[in-house]
Structure 1
Amino acid sequence: MQTLLRFGAGLLFLIGAASSGLAQSQTAAPAAPQPSAAATPAGEAVTPANDPAYTYKTLRLNRSAFDAIAAHPEQLLVLDVRRPDELTKFGGFPVYLSVQTGDVQKSLAFIPRDRLIVVVSNRAHRAGAIGDLLTGYGFHVAGAIGVRDYEDEGGALVKLAPPPPKTAAAAPASPQK
């Protein structure tokens, strides 16, 4: 069952995914190396599997691990912490709860505690930080993933088109005298 909630100007979407198979998905093979301008101290390209800047306790998921969790949506909550412009620019997963990073603590009461949570950002860094925060509040966080990493690993994202700008309605013509 899918639920649509509206908060202010943003749309919030909820889904679920069971935690069955999570242990196996967390040990999935690391993603294939992707070209990157940055390099690790050993000189190899930085990938989600070896990113030295990812220092969070929240597990960083690769595509196969996320797909394994998302294959059972009954108890999953995909929490996307990106701005609306990032959602339209890069795309995202088909169903998610959208709470921007700065609003997460104010929105804790609206985040289901009975769901397995995967936090989403562009390259998983904000997602990792929010995953650590949520874990500290007692939420069950399965991991963090970056949509750009997911797409780099061959995953397909849903691209959302921004709504067309509203046009001012033509004012009724005033009667001529």
Structure 2
Amino acid sequence: MNIVKSFVFLTASLLASASFAQQAAYQPPPWTYQTKQLNRAEIDALLAKPQQVVVLDVRRPDELISKGAFPAYLNIQTKEIEQNLGYIPKDRTIITVSNRAHRAGAVGDILTARGFKVAGAAGSLDYEDQGGKIARIQPPAPKPAN
């Protein structure tokens, strides 16, 4: 009888632990980049001077559609940064963007090493979590059949 009660207690404890883990808030991995991780206030201050800044979004097109984006941005995916450095303006401050800023941090480090002026990395989801507004992008309409 004690074995059955112990088994039931252990099972209930494991289920409760699993349920708590699922309800826990998102915990980002540790920040390991030299590029500063920007918060909403810092991003808003930079965006207030659009003639001085470029937003470099490093996400895939499907992420831009599903997660939204800043109103104006240059989109070069992370894996294509090295071969497209010539398209990134060196005379502007750069905000790199990804969903939770980690890819943006990695790209920020690459750009800084190449002589670009990087203000920091932003996560579009983090920005929204902090009350910022992200533009929703509509996917292109399908082309009519001929």
CA displacement at 1:52 relative to structure 2? 4.7
Which of these residues, 117, 132, 139, is aligned with residue 94 of structure 2?
117
Higher Cα radius of gyration: 2
Output one character per residue of 1:90-111: Cα deviation in whole Å (capped at 9) or x when no partner: 1010000000111100000111
- Code of the residue aligned with 2:34 in structure 1: it is K
- Structure 1 residue aligned with 2:107: 130
Q: Deviations over 1:70-107 (max 9, x none)?
A: 11111101000000000000101000000011110000
Give 3-state SS (helix, strand or coil) of 2:51's partner.
helix
**Amino acid in structure 2 at the alignment position of 1:36:** A
Match of 1:71 in 2: 48
Q: Could you state the TM-score of these two structures normalised by the residue count of structure 2?
A: 0.81
1:36 aligns with 2:13: no
Per-residue CA deviations over 1:12-65 (Å, capped at 9, x if unaligned) read: xxxxxxxxxxxxxxxxxxxxxxx624xxxxxxxx3xxxx552200000001011
Corresponding position of 1:20: none
Runs of 4+ in 1 over 2 A off after TM superposition: none
Structure 2: gaps of 5 or more residues: 1-23
1:141 aligns with 2:130: no
For 1:93 and 1:132, locate their aligned partners in 2 and report how far apart those are by CA, in whole Å: 21
Higher relative contact order (CA 8 A, sep 6+): 2
The residue correspondences of 1:10-49 to structure 2 (distance < 5 A) are 36-37=25-26, 46=27
Q: Distance in 1 between matches of 2:75 and 2:108?
A: 14
> Hey, what's the Cα distance between the residues in 2 that align with 1:154 and 1:110?
31
> 1:18 maps to what in 2?
none
Length, aligned pairs only: 123
Q: CA RMSD in A?
A: 1.1
Give the alignment of 1:96-111 within 5 angstroms: 96-111=73-88
- Looking at structure 2, the residues matched to 77 and 151 of structure 1 have their Cα atoms a distance apart, in angstroms, of 19
Unmatched tracts of structure 1, length 5 or more: 1-34, 38-45, 170-177
Query: Matches of residues 73-92 of structure 1 in structure 2 within 5 Å?
Result: 73-92=50-69
* Match of residue 174 from structure 1: none
% same residue: 54
The two structures have a TM-score, normalised by structure 1, of 0.67
AA aligned opposite 1:96:
Y
**TM-superposed deviation, 1:167:** 2.5
